[in-house]
Amino acid sequence: MRIIIVDDEMLARGVVREYLSEHADVEVVAECGNGFEAVKAITELSPDLVFLDIQMPKLDGFEVAELAGSKTRYIFATAYDQYAIKAFEFHALDYLLKPFSQQRFDQALAHARANLGAGGEAVEKMVREAAGRNKPLGRVLIRDGAKVHVINADKIEHVEAQDDYVQIRSEGKSYLKNQRMSELEEQLDAEQFLRIHRSYIVNIAFVDRIEQATKDSHVAVLKDGSRVPISRSGYQKIRAVVQ
């Protein structure tokens, strides 16, 4: 079994490594001290199992799981019990509450062995479902090859649907994220974001004015000069909040 250990505390990584040394059939293929390193290692090494801390700077454990993809399985480890429900919403194999004993660790590893052969659930889908239950979304995570972009939701100017992707415009740059428009719409703050067209969501804070484009159509003119089409139903919604 190929394993990656992720924790921002070196001593905590050492405890997991020590406990794993009692098991001859495992190989630690990487250790990571932050979420960005973890996403890169999980993506490149495709481990069978990740021991993943939850509270870490920059990216937390749940965000790592979202960005790393759907093949790897996780055992979450944290000093805080309030994350347990969310961890199991992600279909974590187990949840270790620090400090944990060798016996408790061995139980979690045995449970992982028993379940790995059954095939992994789609972690990305579960992350999105969990995010939907904990909305509104405070930031959006986008993986671009080996790079990770973290965009604060209030900096998003507008979103455009592109088949199974969304193109997010923020601070003069565009980012492509593999997510359906309807999923992102459910996660964003409904008081801040409006879906004014089948293919467009706008951040009300960035709308400068509404203009008539043709006799029967309108556009939203954003503060950067971008022009976003408005459907008839979208016009009724945006007219109520933008003067």
pLDDT tens digits along 130-181: 555 555 778 888 877 767 888 999 999 999 999 889 999 999 999 999 889 9
Inter-helix orientation angle 102-116/10-20, to 10°? 70
The pLDDT of residue 122: 40
- Say if residue 89's pLDDT is above 90: no
What is the average per-residue pLDDT within 108-127? 66
Which pLDDT value is given to residue 121? 47
Q: What is the pLDDT of residue 133?
A: 53
Give the rounded distance of the alpha carbon of 130 from its chain centre: 10
**pLDDT at 118 exceeding the cut of 60:** no
Q: Which of 153, 143, 231 is nearest to 188 (CA)?
A: 153
Cα separation, 112 vs 16, in Å, equals 15
Instruction: Tell me the pLDDT tens digit for each residue of 45-72.
Output: 999 999 999 989 888 898 898 888 767 8
Is residue 119 very low, low, confident or very high in pLDDT (cuts 50, 70, 90)? Answer: very low
Q: For residue 53, what are the β-bridge partners?
A: 77
Q: What is the mean pLDDT of the chain?
A: 87
Residue 88 has a pLDDT of 63
pLDDT at 71: 78
Domains of the chain, earliest start first? 2-128 (3.40.50.2300), 135-239 (2.40.50.1020)
